[in-house]
Amino acid sequence: MIDEKTARERVVSAADRLFYAHGVQAVGMDSVRTESGVSLKRIYTLFPSKEDLIVAVLRHRTDQWNSGVAEAVNGAGTPREKLLAVFDFLGGWFRDDDFRGCAFINVFGELGADSNRVAEAVREQKSSFGRAVAELVRAAGSPDRLAPQLVLLAEGAQTTAAISGDPDTALHARAAAETLIRCALEDEAAAAS
């Protein structure tokens, strides 16, 4: 018998794959059992409700997102390049064969109105991303108002790429980000002189 941590990881990974590919409402717990190889009884011991499993999947996705963005940002040189690395990260992700848009937006669209816990998990991830971008903006010496603009651009790029199927959406978003950054820095320089 597998230990609790391994069972939990297998269930969350299986549910993540299934939910992302098919939507949370279309996937039953029997499918999660089959995909994970963990008995239904054990799944319900680990996650007393489907909502508990969805929240665990969202936390797992948050960790994946944070790691991916951090890796892209840490690989960039200047503070400006670090801001743009967020869009480079998106560009790589949009080219994944299984890209289906933002899992958080997808789940929120399905359940956000009916589940406060799901809505809160999604809001926390979006707030966390906003705070991370705000830190990058400050490090680049840009005005605070630039952060929510770049976040909106990144979020919109995810939705547009998912709907259009065009991974080059990230390139367009990156070009728009470069313009926003340049204009914000020029405005700051003009205000300082």
The SS3 assignment for 103 reads: helix
Q: If residue 158 lies in a helix (H) or strand (E), which one and from where to where?
A: helix 146-164
Task: For residues 96-110, give the mean pLDDT.
Answer: 95
What is the pLDDT confidence band of residue 71, given thresholds at 50, 70 and 90? very high
Query: What are the pLDDT digits (tens) for 93-102?
Result: 999 999 999 9
Which residue from 23, 30, 25, 166 is spatially nearest to 90, judged by alpha carbons? Answer: 166
Q: Indicate whether 92 and 185 sit together in one domain.
A: yes
Q: Indicate whether 103 and 17 sit together in one domain.
A: no
Residue 83 has pLDDT above 80, yes or no: yes
* Interatomic CA distance for residues 57 and 104, integer angstroms: 10
Task: Quote the mean pLDDT of the chain.
Answer: 95
Q: Indicate whether 14 and 109 sit together in one domain.
A: no
Own/partner contacts of 93-100, CB < 8 Å, gap of 24 or more, are: 93/68, 93/170, 94/157, 94/161, 94/167, 94/169, 94/170, 95/167, 98/20, 98/21, 99/161, 99/162, 99/167, 100/20, 100/21, 100/162
Q: Indicate whether 160 and 186 sit together in one domain.
A: yes
Half-sphere exposure of 146 (CA within 13 A, CB side): 28
Q: Indicate whether 117 and 162 sit together in one domain.
A: yes
Q: What is the CATH number of the domain that holds 152?
A: 1.10.357.10
Residue 104 has pLDDT above 80, yes or no: yes
Cα dist from 133 to 122, 138, 149, whole Å: 17, 9, 10
* 97 contacts 159 by C-beta, under 8 angstroms: no
Query: What are the pLDDT digits (tens) for 124-151?
Result: 999 999 999 999 999 999 999 999 999 9
Write the CB contacts of 91 (distance below 8 Å, at least 6 apart in sequence). Answer: 167, 170, 171, 174
Q: Indicate whether 41 and 61 sit together in one domain.
A: no
Structural domain span for residue 105: 49-192
Q: If you search the block for the tokens 């499918």, which residue do you land on?
A: 31
Q: Indicate whether 30 and 95 sit together in one domain.
A: no
Query: What are the pLDDT digits (tens) for 19-70?
Result: 999 999 999 999 999 999 999 999 999 999 999 999 999 999 999 999 999 9
Q: How many structural domains compose the chain?
A: 2
Q: What is the CATH number of the domain that holds 26?
A: 1.10.10
